[in-house]
Structure 1
């Protein structure tokens, strides 16, 4: 029998290494975690930390550099072997214990609890990879009552958008108009979201819309089963409404005593520095030309798949803006909304109360998903 060679294990999947390389080189992602940990060094000093899905171990090393006395780095894949080598390379093997296991199967010595859980669990449109269930399970099993989650919250945002990168080149392709081909491309893509970078100038909504806010310290797995929102937003310019853009933002704890210090945020939106998550766009089978101030009404439902619990189904319906309730205040230029905005400007205290009662994020429950499906309904 040949001697066991850990190196051969974690180099057997070239694709896995490429994925980790992509994540490591995503500067907004890696810098956000490093800044969040290092800006809370006073908290990490002498603490016990768990890194769920540690990958190559860089977040565990950040925690050790910040002064953690013990880090349990949990990794289910064979990349755990590489993580051990990197930990040793950085001389933290006495602090960081890499555990090659699913976090669901981990038992800490003496049933110890940890002071913080650090994890980079996010996928496309936040929930695509389905790892959040495992993080919540780890929180319930291992985190102390007063422990901290890094990140501590996340929000999914939406906005109507154009996607000229998919279609504009076909208007004049080597001197040939191929709009019919572009239309076929659009029809073929409407049942599966596209992952791409939406340019800031292609965002059509006057305001970003929050689909949901997830509290990593309190939400349960069942809270993640589905989310739904019906909304109306005014177009911020003339353009082609071709899809709904989805992205997320994560917020990390700020445990410093500095009142002027702001929490670290990781924003994957089209107005921020691009990340490897890019944005998720549900493509419309037929584009709609809109003008500045035109109301765009839609409903989005995001539900955990009944068969594959790691998958979400996304269903987008384009609605008649005359037939649905508008938010207060509304950014569109329908006469009734303009009158309401004028009234609210003249009666700010009463308007604030009414807006708080009317505008709420409709939450159901949401789930993780390893694959992405979407359905569009032009009704």
Structure 2
């Protein structure tokens, strides 16, 4: 993660751009790891930083704090955040945390951040980041299909089918190229970290009608996320794992379909995506993709697909809009 330039740059910029927010404030770093975010906060003028880390990495954090001469500002606490008691039961002004996992939620620490927010953050306190969004889009997955059609002159399609069966048991975390995305992304989930509860995250279920923006092979569903940081004066910093953005260690998550389908430009692709928290591990999720028949599901009002009913609706809406403009 320390080699993830996009990640580090986003956090540093979000903190440094808001020195007026951090100056003289008390900060809580949840899951501090090596302590880099705590040092960013201290460099921005924080009065006190509590860096909480449950693993043995806390020893490295202590060394990093000393190496950067912030022993008087940063206090490393070796414990789970749920077991921590801050001196004098004080409340903090800001919580910083890099809690995100693959597709945002898998193996993430959001539950711990929520707990810290409810127990340690002032009523007017801030969270860095303060919001997060999960997106999905149909995509091509050539590494599970075309790349096995000819391996040095040998067809390996039967082997590829076995790979896809294996991949159906566990989503694939890999880099998805922008040209493999087949439609504009849809929002799966938007999280306001100031308000979200643990119960809100138990099951996320959405149904999408994606409209193909090119001809291609529909071979999977790609999932990624963005995080937005607070800002007092500048444009908010956004950490993005979008395929169009700089690569991060989170990459993208792909649910591979067992069989591919050819799609044409403007063709509707209907699917349901369900993320359910595992009963065996609170930090794991089960992802289910259900392929739906576009003829049998309701399309959005301004659907741009090539189905007759959507073309007629668009024409009717455009007629009303034109009439309104003429009468205005």
Q: For residues 28-47 of structure 1, what are the structure 2 equivalents within 5 Å?
A: 28-47=6-25
Answer whether contact 2:174 2:251 (CA < 8 A) is retained: yes
Q: For residues 13-32 of structure 1, what are the structure 2 equivalents within 5 Å?
A: 23-32=1-10
- Which of 271, 283, 287 is 1:298 aligned to? 271
Answer whether contact 1:233 1:331 (CA < 8 A) is retained: no
- Alpha-carbon distance between aligned partners in 2 of 1:238 and 1:165, rounded to the nearest angstrom: 18
- Alpha-carbon distance between aligned partners in 2 of 1:34 and 1:350, rounded to the nearest angstrom: 51
Provide structure 2 residue ranges, at least 5 long, that are not aligned to the other structure.
Answer: none
Q: Which residue of structure 2 lines up, in the alignment, with residue 80 of structure 1?
A: 58
1:85: Cα distance to partner?
A: 0.6
Provide structure 1 residue ranges, at least 5 long, that are not aligned to the other structure.
Answer: 1-22, 352-379
Q: Which residue of structure 1 lines up, in the alignment, with residue 168 of structure 2?
A: 190
Does residue 54 in structure 1 map to residue 32 in structure 2? yes
Does residue 265 in structure 1 map to residue 238 in structure 2? yes
- Let me know the Cα RMSD of the aligned residues: 1.5
What is the number of equivalent residue pairs in this alignment?
324
Q: Which residue of structure 1 lines up, in the alignment, with residue 225 of structure 2?
A: 248
Normalised to the residue count of structure 2, the TM-score between the two structures is: 0.96
- Alpha-carbon distance between aligned partners in 2 of 1:89 and 1:332, rounded to the nearest angstrom: 58
Q: For residues 270-349 of structure 1, what are the structure 2 equivalents within 5 Å?
A: 270-348=243-321
- Alpha-carbon distance between aligned partners in 1 of 2:261 and 2:106, rounded to the nearest angstrom: 28
Q: Which residue of structure 2 lines up, in the alignment, with residue 66 of structure 1?
A: 44
1:215: Cα distance to partner?
A: 0.6
- Alpha-carbon distance between aligned partners in 2 of 1:252 and 1:141, rounded to the nearest angstrom: 21
1:112: Cα distance to partner?
A: 0.3
Q: Do the aligned partners of residues 241 and 52 (structure 1) sit closer, same or farther apart at CA in structure 2, a change above 3 Å counting?
A: same
Q: Do the aligned partners of residues 92 and 346 (structure 1) sit closer, same or farther apart at CA in structure 2, a change above 3 Å counting?
A: farther
Q: Which residue of structure 2 lines up, in the alignment, with residue 209 of structure 1?
A: 186
SS at match of 1:55: coil
Q: Do the aligned partners of residues 190 and 85 (structure 1) sit closer, same or farther apart at CA in structure 2, a change above 3 Å counting?
A: same
Q: Which residue of structure 1 lines up, in the alignment, with residue 81 of structure 2?
A: 103
1:180: Cα distance to partner?
A: 2.2
Kindly provide the CA deviation profile for residues 305-329 of structure 1, in whole angstroms up to 9, marking residues without a partner as x.
2232222111110000000011121
- Alpha-carbon distance between aligned partners in 2 of 1:171 and 1:338, rounded to the nearest angstrom: 38
- Alpha-carbon distance between aligned partners in 1 of 2:247 and 2:284, rounded to the nearest angstrom: 25
- Alpha-carbon distance between aligned partners in 2 of 1:160 and 1:33, rounded to the nearest angstrom: 30
Normalised to the residue count of structure 1, the TM-score between the two structures is: 0.83
Does residue 160 in structure 1 map to residue 160 in structure 2? no
